[in-house]
Structure 1
Amino acid sequence: MAATTIRTGSGPLTPALAQQIAGDTSHIVGFNILITDAHGTVIGSGDTSRVGSFHEASLEVIRTRLSATHSAAQARALEGVKPGVTLPILLNGQAVGTVGITGSPAQVTRFGLMVERQTEILLHQASLLRSTLQRERELEDLVRSILAFDPLVTGHSTLLDQANDQGVDLTASRVAVVVHTPGRTPVPSTTSEWLPRALVLLRESFQHRQTIAVSISANRYVVFAHPTPDGMDGILSQARHCVEQFRTHLGSDVEIGIGTEGAGPTQMRTAYEDAADALHLGRRITRRSVTTIDEVRMEQLLSGIGLRARQRYTAAVAEPLMAAGDWNTVRSTVIAWCESGFSLVGAARRLHIHRNTLIHRLERIEHLQGWTTRTAVAYLALYLACKTNEFDAAEPSDS
Structure 2
Amino acid sequence: MISKQLANQIVEQTMLRLHRNINVVHTNGRILASGDRLRVESIHGGARIVVETEKVLIITEENNHLFKNAKPGINLPIFFQNELVGVIGITGNPDDIAEWAPLVQLTTEMMVHQALIASQSELKRKMRETIFEDLMNQQPLQKVKERLSKIGFFHAPPFYAITLDVDATLMAYQSFVEHMEDFFIHESVIFGRYQLNEHFILVSGMDVKAIIDKLTLLLTQVRKYFTVRIGIGQPVQTLEKAAHSYETAKNAIEYGDKTKTINFFEEVEVFSLLKKSDSPEALLFTNRTLKDLNNKLIHTLVVYFLNNQQLANCSEELGIHRHTLTYRLNQIHELTGYNPTIFQDAIILQIAIWLKNKEK
Aligned to 1:356: 323
For 2:274, what is the secondary structure of its paired residue? helix
For 2:202, what is the secondary structure of its paired residue? strand
Q: Decide which of 241, 263, 281 is 1:291's aligned counterpart.
A: 263
Cα distance in 2, alignment partners of residues 32 and 86 from structure 1 = 12
Aligned to 1:273: 247
Q: Deviations over 1:235-265 (max 9, x none)?
A: 45554554443332x2x42333333333433
Tell me: CA distance 1:86–1:336, structure 2 relative to 1, closer, same or farther (3 Å): closer
For 2:169, what is the secondary structure of its paired residue? coil
Q: Which amino acid counterpart does residue 130 of structure 1 have in structure 2?
A: S
Q: Shift of the alpha carbon at 1:168?
A: 0.9
Indicate if the aligned counterparts of 1:212 and 1:225 stay in contact, CA closer than 8 A. yes
Aligned to 1:264: 238
1:124 has 2:96 as partner: no
For 2:354, what is the secondary structure of its paired residue? helix
For 2:20, what is the secondary structure of its paired residue? coil
1:85 has 2:74 as partner: yes
Indicate if the aligned counterparts of 1:366 and 1:374 stay in contact, CA closer than 8 A. no
Tell me: CA distance 1:247–1:375, structure 2 relative to 1, closer, same or farther (3 Å): closer
Cα distance in 1, alignment partners of residues 323 and 347 from structure 2 = 22
Cα distance in 2, alignment partners of residues 369 and 184 from structure 1 = 43
Tell me: CA distance 1:205–1:341, structure 2 relative to 1, closer, same or farther (3 Å): farther
Aligned to 2:58: 69
Indicate if the aligned counterparts of 2:329 and 2:340 stay in contact, CA closer than 8 A. no
Matches within 5 A, 1:379-394: 379-392=346-359, 394=360
Q: Which amino acid counterpart does residue 43 of structure 1 have in structure 2?
A: L
Q: Decide which of 204, 223, 243 is 2:201's aligned counterpart.
A: 223
Aligned to 2:312: 345
Cα distance in 2, alignment partners of residues 142 and 211 from structure 1 = 12
Q: Decide which of 342, 345, 348 is 1:378's aligned counterpart.
A: 345
Q: Shift of the alpha carbon at 1:34?
A: 1.2
Aligned to 1:186: 171
Q: Deviations over 1:311-349 (max 9, x none)?
A: 344466x3xx634xx343443344444443332213323
Cα distance in 2, alignment partners of residues 246 and 107 from structure 1 = 50
Indicate if the aligned counterparts of 1:175 and 1:271 stay in contact, CA closer than 8 A. yes
Q: How many residues align?
A: 360
For 1:377, what is the secondary structure of its paired residue? helix
Q: Shift of the alpha carbon at 1:356?
A: 0.8
Cα distance in 1, alignment partners of residues 118 and 314 from structure 2 = 59
Indicate if the aligned counterparts of 1:185 and 1:219 stay in contact, CA closer than 8 A. no
Indicate if the aligned counterparts of 2:24 and 2:88 stay in contact, CA closer than 8 A. yes
Aligned to 2:128: 139
Unaligned runs of 5+ in 2: none
Tell me: CA distance 1:111–1:135, structure 2 relative to 1, closer, same or farther (3 Å): same
Q: Shift of the alpha carbon at 1:128?
A: 2.3
Q: Which amino acid counterpart does residue 269 of structure 1 have in structure 2?
A: A
Aligned to 2:222: 246
Q: Deviations over 1:257-291 (max 9, x none)?
A: 33333343343222222222222334xx5344443
Tell me: CA distance 1:36–1:344, structure 2 relative to 1, closer, same or farther (3 Å): same
Q: Shift of the alpha carbon at 1:17?
A: 1.7
Unaligned runs of 5+ in 1: 1-10, 190-195, 395-399
1:98 has 2:87 as partner: yes
Indicate if the aligned counterparts of 1:140 and 1:216 stay in contact, CA closer than 8 A. yes
Q: Which moved more, 1:365-374 or 1:25-34?
A: 365-374
Q: Which amino acid counterpart does residue 224 of structure 1 have in structure 2?
A: L
Cα distance in 2, alignment partners of residues 336 and 138 from structure 1 = 48
Aligned to 1:322: 291
Tell me: CA distance 1:73–1:185, structure 2 relative to 1, closer, same or farther (3 Å): farther
Identity %: 22
Q: Decide which of 264, 271, 282 is 1:310's aligned counterpart.
A: 282
For 2:87, what is the secondary structure of its paired residue? strand
So what's the TM-score if we normalise by structure 2?
0.83
Q: Shift of the alpha carbon at 1:37?
A: 1.0
Cα distance in 1, alignment partners of residues 170 and 318 from structure 2 = 42
Q: Deviations over 1:85-109 (max 9, x none)?
A: 3233344554433222222233334
Tell me: CA distance 1:387–1:351, structure 2 relative to 1, closer, same or farther (3 Å): farther
Cα distance in 1, alignment partners of residues 337 and 140 from structure 2 = 57
Tell me: CA distance 1:41–1:227, structure 2 relative to 1, closer, same or farther (3 Å): closer
Tell me: CA distance 1:76–1:137, structure 2 relative to 1, closer, same or farther (3 Å): same
